[in-house]
Amino acid sequence: MKNKIILSAILFVNIFSISVYAVERKYIPNTTDAVISFSFDNLSKKAEGDLQQILNSLFMQRLANKFLETRDDEVVAEAMTNRLAQLFDFSKDSKIIFINDYGKLTLIVDILDITELDKIMIKIASQEDKLISFSESANYRYLSLDENTLISWNNEIFTVSLRGLFFEDNDNIIDSAENIFKGVALENEYFISLENETNDCYVWMDLSFLSENEGSLFELLLELAGDMPESVKDIYKDGVLTGKINFGNGNADMVFDTYIPNNTYDFASLKKQLSENIFKFVNGQNNYGFLSLAFNNSALSKILGNMNYISLLFDEETSAKLEREGIDASKLYELLGGDIFVSGWNTEDDKTVLLFSISITDEETGKKVLDTLSDSKEGDIYIIGGDYFYIRDSILYTVNEKSVIDSIARGEIPNIKLDENKLKLARENIFSSYLELTPFIGDLLGEENEEFESIYLTSNILDNKHSQTIIKLEAKDKTKNILTIIKSFFIESDNN
């Protein structure tokens, strides 16, 4: 049940937190840090469900019930549920925007019936012992529920602004409405391009905060990543991330593009293919996934040269031990050849195996390092902390199952190799990850839910300082929209 709740949350975020089309662009202020756009109407059609019923079952009925716990007003509760679609125009896209370094979040929805909405807002204000106020310019009205929650609207849009939901914000909550209704629209070309396209969902994010030395989100990232070198921070100025999500028959596609205009690295040099022999001993039988990475070693050296990564890998005693053998621990990355492939499968006796295959530049130095670090050795197989290591044809293999490393040492190639389509996925992308969901469906969704087939991620460097990541979710049934499967899962999870 716990796994089910977690997966429900992940799916909910993917569908309803990154989704739209028509709140007019004039209401997206130029101070916006990020926009999440979603088309409830389009999504409900693909899910073959009634929008009103879906919204009610997911969250509106819960909000109404919560309202009735402290307020005795069935009229407002009714409006929050059964009359919702009569008040807001969900045939147009709605948006969530973030302002002031993600300190404020605002939901923006088009209005369908302003007369009824005004009546209900007056009713809510009276319940809260508050008055509806007009802005100084009289171009919108607002109701401040508390210092962190503001409702504002005019004859076209309705907004709910929250302050400090994710990060602390010291400005007045009314500033959110002022920014939205003053009519200075966001002019970013990538945002405008997304607005002109037809996607089920999209996200736009300004990455400039990564080049700044203050701000709540920036500080959080610094805390997670440690001090970021100035040379790295500078490249994110004027950077933009965009994402598109679309649902089709049997599949969901998520495409994320990152544009870093000030990046000085030669990304073209990163375009390379994995060494062919890195796949040689990968077992394709019962394979549930893999991760592959191809990188340029000289480019990596520039980055690692500015980082103190050794303290994360080795303690002082181990570093000293390597140095006594004439091995400079701070330059061990020079052994990396630029190819990493991690494959996972279940053996015939149902053991989980993770095989790491890593290309190296110097076999002799690699063996010397293993000899220094190993607890014991069996022939050319090194044992370190219960894991087995073996070097063959400039590839370092490591696995936690002795029978697998013994098989590799004997040169035995698996009878069933990886599927050619999966190998193509790994060969043609700088970074790719593939996961077969089928073996885990029973644990995650229950034995009766076996609709999903696979999920995989690919990432590559494009031209003109763009990089792209694609996530694909596939269902077994290719005849119906994947949202119908996801919807049924939500309904079942809600009932349980």
Q: Please state the rounded mean pLDDT for residues 150-169.
A: 88
Q: What is the chain's mean pLDDT, rounded?
A: 81
- Residue 218 pLDDT > 70: no
**What number is the average pLDDT over the span 29-42?**
91
Please give the residue that has the higher pLDDT: either 393 or 23. 393
| Whole-number Å distance between alpha carbons of 281 and 415 | 10
pLDDT for the residue 364:
92
Q: What average pLDDT does range 456-477 have in this prediction?
A: 88
Q: Is the pLDDT of residue 102 over 70?
A: yes
How far apart, in whole angstroms, are the C-alpha atoms of residue 305 and residue 333?
A: 10
For residues 229 and 307, give the distance between their C-alpha atoms in angstroms, rounded to a whole number.
9
Question: What's the CA gap between 310 and 477, in Å, rounded?
Answer: 48
Q: Which of these ranges, 98-102, 220-224, 225-229, 366-370, has the smallest mean pLDDT? A: 225-229
pLDDT at residue 242 in the model:
97
State the pLDDT at residue 381: 96
pLDDT at position 249, please?
94
CB 343 within 8 A of CB 355: yes
Q: What is the pLDDT of residue 18?
A: 34
Q: Across 123-132, 307-316, 345-354, 420-429, which has the greatest mean pLDDT?
A: 420-429
359-387 pLDDT per residue, tens:
998 999 999 999 988 889 999 999 998 89
Q: Which residue has the higher pLDDT, 264 or 39?
A: 39
- pLDDT tens digits for 112-134? 999 988 988 888 888 778 889 99
Distance of CA 356 to the CA centre of its chain: 25
Confidence of residue 9 (pLDDT cuts 50, 70, 90): very low
Percentage of the chain exceeding pLDDT 90: 34
Higher pLDDT, 225 or 287: 287
Residue 15: per-residue pLDDT: 37
Burial class (CB in 10 A: 0-12, 13-18, 19+), 174: middle
**What single-letter amino acid sits at 424?**
K
pLDDT at 229: 58
How many residues comprise the chain? 496
- Whole-number pLDDT of residue 7: 40
Of residues 300 and 68, which shows the higher confidence score? 68
Cα distance between residue 363 and residue 378, in whole Å: 18
174-184 mean pLDDT:
90
Write down the pTM of the prediction: 0.78
